[in-house]
Structure 1
Amino acid sequence: MTGSSPQTPSRNSHPLYAIFAGLCASLVGIGLARFAYTPLIPSLIEAHWFAATDVIYLSAANLVGYLAGALAGRPLGRRITSRRTLQLMMLLASLAFFACALPLSVSWFFAWRFLSGLAGGSIMVLVASTVLPHIPGERKGMASGAIFLGLGLGIAASGTLVPLLLELGLRETWIGLGLLSLLLSLLSWAGWPNAGAPQAAAESPSKSATPIAMRVIYLQYALVAIALVPMMVFLVDFVARGLGWGTHTAGLFWVVYGLGAIAGPMAYGVLADRIGFAAGNRVALVLQAFAVAALVLSTQPWVLVLAVLVIGSFPPGIVPLTLGRVQHVLAANPAAQNAAWSRATTIFALFQALAGYAYSYLFAASHGNHALLFSIGGVAVVVALVADGLLLVGMARQRRAMA
């Protein structure tokens, strides 16, 4: 596995401590570093730290950095070990919060937001391959869900913790987030499994090893990135202005979204342990398709609450499912698993960034048509399901031909 050495004596921490370290890393590097920025946007504009156009421009810096981190994570892990890379990336994300408390210039802010994204992308690539090899096979789904629970906690914190910190002031909010991230970094420092010496270059996924299955996984992950963006970005505005229910009700819906985000990783992970990662992925996609349809077609509050709860579970919940599918398809080649997961993360980051800009353009061009954006996201989910169905048909035909 990336960052491990068979010659190194085992001095690893308890598996539960390793899972806790993974959770802290995903919470700091992605959950807080990415999602805590959204509720800060109005305050950044109102406090005249930057112009409104600059604030939106700065929001993209983290996504660009995330893509860079997805590309750089494995090379860093090979050079200085995965354990050390994860520790340093958590410290970098913490330092970025403190740096953002000083609005020296747009370029200064962009650089630190980029670095926070770099930390998050590197963490996403390395965290699972560092922790999961030390977890029993029958618990890998639940453990994977627990690791990526940090994404859900970050989404929830963006709607609860950040508003509380903002009562102290904008600068104090950045410092508070930095102190929390630093604390989590220190608490998890000794929890990472011993990585040993830097590893030689890992093997890339073989082109002859189940190429169709891996291509479908990559395609589905790209479609998932396209699907989740409109709900994640425009949900609050849809409730507040699209439905005319006001900002207070919109805030409550974001809390519901956060509750779904907390429940998603563990729920889907446990589901995968019971029925398998591929079947669990289909269940998640079907639930998402129905939830998006309900969001577009219904105006009943209780229907929308249930839909938002399911939709919120999807962004963090689909991560352990996709990771598990990659590991299952390439079960005989651990090095190829790491390379394939790095590639999947890069694909996801790229299409998420592209989708963010595309949806923003469509939102302006359609004069704020939320239903159009949500419908496009729903179509992406349906296409992902169709691709999965075609894969099942192809595999069935292959088995019959071999019989």
Structure 2
Amino acid sequence: MGFGRFSYTPILPGMMTDLGLTPANAGLIAAANFIGYLLGAIAAGYGWAAGRERAIALSALAATAALLLAMGLTSSLLLFSLIRFLAGVASAFTMIFTSAIVLSRGMAAGNPHVQSVHFGGVGMGIALSSLMVFLLPAGGFGLFASWQAAWFGGAVIACLGTVIVAVLLPEGPAAGKSGEAEKPLVWTRPLVVVTLTYGLFGFGYIITATFLVAMARQGASDHTVEFLAWFITGLSAAVSVHIWRRAVPRLGIVGVYLAGLLVEAIGLVLTVSLPSPYAPLIGGLLLGLTFIMVTAYGLQIGRALAPASPRKALAFMTAAFGVGQIAGPLVAGWLAQGSGSFTASTLLAAGVLLFCAALTGLEIRRIVAAAGA
């Protein structure tokens, strides 16, 4: 998933240089991916997948590898958007159905490390994709440019990863629940608030997550800063859930969710206020330390708020997240196209995250009481 969802970020600057893509073009391609993610999340919320979670998850991972390969075989804006749309559907299915299996079994086993390892894998994929792009020769390989070779390399790694997952992934959710139909989702006030802030968080984080490397290229004298910014993002994301878990006994899961929103908002401001090369490095560090953790704990809170229909809650929250992700790149690309920089869009994203933090803070007692977290 780290390659399927986020390798677009380190590959994007090379595509913009070689193909003449504008920030608006880049935002459109990213938005297509998130439209697919949204529709995939909505589709996953229905009962058709009960008992088939493992097969669907593995199929989605195999599709991710094939779609990574396809990105290197075209230079068409329309085809880029279509491929990334399909990759978004695959990402949503992977997230929802692997999480349904892995997290339920982790909870049944009483093992708190399962969640950290599960979501940490995305961060490792981000770091590895950054390292791969950095190590590729600038001129590419013969007939293929470096950005094409990066997509091909990601496809190979994703294919190998899919084989490993096929060996390790259990048959279905714990306690034989995969074949049981869930009850209708009940929308309580705490669940509405968490879903809203989760969706707005999708808007806030994705702007930097999409354009961080392009922002680093604007102020850097070589590609090292680009590589380090996204590499640091991935490594910090890989350990973020584990690090923040230590704060749960003191702050609670909802308190950690709130703290993550605040820290990420600060990171976004620093991304456009610190001098180069520190801005993208610090911004990447704080982005990595928060976005997967907020994603993970947000979903955990949603499951706790809807114990009779956790899969539906997870799917609807992922859908809200997807709406935010669609709007983020479009707005950022449009603003950058007009201003020549990503400063305005990044500050807008920071403001949205601060609003999410404020809303969560106002409702935290109700959320904690309802979720027991």
TM-score by length of 1: 0.77
**Which of these residues, 371, 374, 383, is aligned with residue 355 of structure 2?**
383
Contact 1:78–1:200, Cα closer than 8 Å, also in 2: no
Deviates more, 1:129-138 or 1:61-70: 129-138
Contact 2:237–2:291, Cα closer than 8 Å, also in 1: yes
* Aligned residue in 2 for 1:24: none
Structure 1 residue 43: deviation in Å?
A: 4.2
Contact 1:63–1:353, Cα closer than 8 Å, also in 2: yes
Contact 1:292–1:375, Cα closer than 8 Å, also in 2: yes
Q: Percent of pairs identical after alignment?
A: 21
Structure 1 residue 142: deviation in Å?
A: 3.1
* Aligned residue in 1 for 2:230: 254
Deviates more, 1:78-87 or 1:285-294: 285-294
State which structure, 1 or 2, has the greater radius of gyration over its C-alpha atoms: 1
Query: C-alpha distance in 1, partners of 2:160/2:259?
Result: 37
Alignment pair present for 1:82 and 2:53: yes
Q: CA 1:104–1:254 in 2, change beyond 3 Å: closer, same or farther?
A: closer
Query: C-alpha distance in 2, partners of 1:276/1:309?
Result: 23
Alignment pair present for 1:351 and 2:324: yes
Contact 1:100–1:174, Cα closer than 8 Å, also in 2: yes
Contact 1:277–1:325, Cα closer than 8 Å, also in 2: yes
Query: C-alpha distance in 1, partners of 2:233/2:266?
Result: 16
* Aligned residue in 1 for 2:44: 73
TM-score by length of 2: 0.83
What's the CA shift string for 1:193-245, capped at 9, x where partnerless? 223797354223223xxx1110111111122112112322333344443x566
Q: CA 1:270–1:281 in 2, change beyond 3 Å: closer, same or farther?
A: same
Contact 1:76–1:85, Cα closer than 8 Å, also in 2: no
SS at match of 1:148: helix
Deviates more, 1:379-388 or 1:106-115: 106-115
SS at match of 2:179: coil
What's the CA shift string for 1:338-388, capped at 9, x where partnerless? 1011000000011111121112112223x1343322221221121111111
**Which of these residues, 186, 198, 204, is aligned with residue 206 of structure 1?**
186
Structure 1 residue 324: deviation in Å?
A: 1.5
* Aligned residue in 2 for 1:52: 21
* Aligned residue in 1 for 2:10: 39
Q: Which runs of 5+ in 2 are unaligned?
A: none
* Aligned residue in 2 for 1:118: 89
Structure 1 residue 278: deviation in Å?
A: 1.0
Q: CA 1:98–1:385 in 2, change beyond 3 Å: closer, same or farther?
A: closer
**Which of these residues, 169, 194, 208, is aligned with residue 231 of structure 1?**
208
RCO higher in 1 or 2 (8 Å CA, sep ≥ 6)?
A: 2
Q: Which runs of 5+ in 1 are unaligned?
A: 1-29, 399-403
**Which of these residues, 162, 185, 193, is aligned with residue 133 of structure 2?**
162
* Aligned residue in 1 for 2:301: 325
Paired residue total: 359
- 1:4-403 alignment runs, 5 A limit: 30-44=1-15, 52=21, 56=26, 57-75=28-46, 78=49, 81-103=52-74, 108-136=79-107, 141-165=112-136, 167-168=140-141, 169-170=144-145, 171-195=148-172, 199=179, 201-207=181-187, 211-241=188-218, 243=219, 247-272=223-248, 275-299=251-275, 305-331=281-307, 333=308, 336-365=309-338, 367-392=339-364
Structure 1 residue 248: deviation in Å?
A: 3.7
RMSD: 3.3
Contact 1:144–1:269, Cα closer than 8 Å, also in 2: no
